Amino acid sequence: MDNNSAEKNKNLCKGCSLCCEYVCVEIDKPETKNDYDQIIWMLLHKDVWVYFDDKNEWYVQFNTQCEVLTNDKLCGIYHNRPRICRKHSQDSCERYGEGTIYKKIFRKKEDFIQWLKEKKVNYNFKGFEH
């Protein structure tokens, strides 16, 4: 990215810090009781969500703000920020792009269990009730 586009990007993000307030890690699409159990375990944790997107790719999201985000919602290490931050474009961001990244989001275990029930998935281990 050249200096001009870097400055343009910096200004476009002004006042918005959505992308700096969480970390997402891709996970395998859950297909077994062990997988479902693992997602329920993740969702039992505070500020941890699980979602899948339009491509049916699954992610775990940790809602935790970047340590170098300043009080006025700017990057405190803008010229030395990680590559992943540099590569992110506003074209596909939540503010200017195609809107939400979530096709389906689970914010607590009950959301996920409800979804499994709707899909008629047998998620319980024998003798173990969620």
Please give the residue ranges that form the binding site for ligand SF4 (CB under 6 A): 12-13, 16-20, 66, 68-69, 75, 77, 81-82, 85, 88, 90, 93-96
Beta sheet of 23-27, edge-to-edge order: 23-27, 58-62, 48-52, 104-106
Quick one: DSSP state of residue 110? H
* Cβ 10 to ligand SF4 shortest distance, Å: 9
* Cβ 76 to ligand SF4 shortest distance, Å: 6
- 124 CB burial (10 A radius; 0-12, 13-18, 19+): middle
Give me the phi and psi of 93, to 5 degrees please: -85, 170
Residue with Cβ nearer ligand SF4 (32 or 70): 70
* Cβ 21 to ligand SF4 shortest distance, Å: 8
Residue with Cβ nearer ligand SF4 (96 or 115): 96
